[in-house]
Amino acid sequence: MTLSEFNGMWGGKALVTSVGKASKLELASLQTSKGGTGLVPLPPGYPVPGSTGPSSPISNTSIHAPGVDPRIDLFNTSLAMTETDIAVKSLGDLSLVFNRVYYNEKGYHRSEYTGTNVWQNNIGAGWTHSLNMHLECSTGSPPTVIIFYDETGTARAYNYDSDVLGFHRYYRSSTGQTAERGNVLYQNASTHVFNLYLPDGTEYMFSTPTSDDYCYARLTGIVWIKAAIRLR
């Protein structure tokens, strides 16, 4: 099936049924800045800011069901599941991927994905997905720390560095991996929107943070060279 045929079937939307506790999951409408009306290709290996899952040795459980392939993280005694629901091949090595991720260290749901806010429990308690990347900001003006939740749901701290030409600049904290040291997060001092830049040319865009205690900023777009995906 070609990309245009896939888009024509779903009318610009992709649906996943019977995921976790949700009866239906609807992805945001997708728009392209490269021309045409098809779904937008993403960078190779999208998303790429963080790790792709637990780093501990993994043992298969030999239990399989549609949409579920549980594994055991031996060091952390955790159940780990990463399921790909949608993967649309496009130009070259580019693809659009929707992954569901579940990870319960020591047998407990991750607390950040069991609440009532829209980003905490939108496909079932304890689950997150690759398009649920978001930011949470500390207090202060500008915020001193920005927490970036990556495609696996892992929290990654960015510390305020300085102001540059109307932008607040943040770098990955000292706990970051070597591959993350080139990442730079900017907040527009006027509009308060965020942009996370990676050395490979990938840009992640985030909304103005909410005014509540979470100061939550959702993912609004992804750009790689001249291709882009916009979420609404």
The distance from CA 192 to its chain's CA centroid, rounded to whole angstroms, is 20
Average pLDDT of the segment spanning 179-202: 93
Beta bridge partners of 81: 102
Higher pLDDT, 80 or 45: 80
Name the more confident of 218 and 122.
Answer: 218
Instruction: Give the separation between CA 102 and CA 39, rounded to whole angstroms.
Output: 26
Q: Which residue bears the tokens 């965020």?
A: 194
Q: What are the respective helix, strand and coil percentages of the chain, to the nearest 5? A: 5, 40, 50
**Confidence band, pLDDT 50/70/90 cuts, at residue 186:** very high
Query: Could you report the per-residue pLDDT of 104-157, keeping only the tens digit for each?
Result: 877 788 888 888 888 888 888 888 998 899 999 998 889 999 999 998 888 999
User: In the chain, what's the furthest Cα-to-Cα distance?
Assistant: 55
When pLDDT is cut at 50, 70 and 90, the band that residue 60 belongs to is low
d(CA 77, CA 160) in angstroms, rounded, equals 35
The H or E element containing residue 4 is: helix 3-10
Averaged pLDDT, 190-195: 96
Q: What is the mean pLDDT of the chain?
A: 73
> Which of 39-43, 56-60, 71-75, 101-105 has the weakest average pLDDT?
39-43
pLDDT at position 31, please?
35
CA-CA-CA-CA torsion for 84, 135, 49, 131, nearest 10 degrees? 20
3-state secondary structure of 169: strand
Coil vs helix vs strand at 12: coil
Does the structure show a pLDDT above 60 at 18?
no
**Per-residue pLDDT, 163:** 96
Mean pLDDT, residues 185-212 taken together: 93
CB count in 10 Å sphere of residue 195: 17
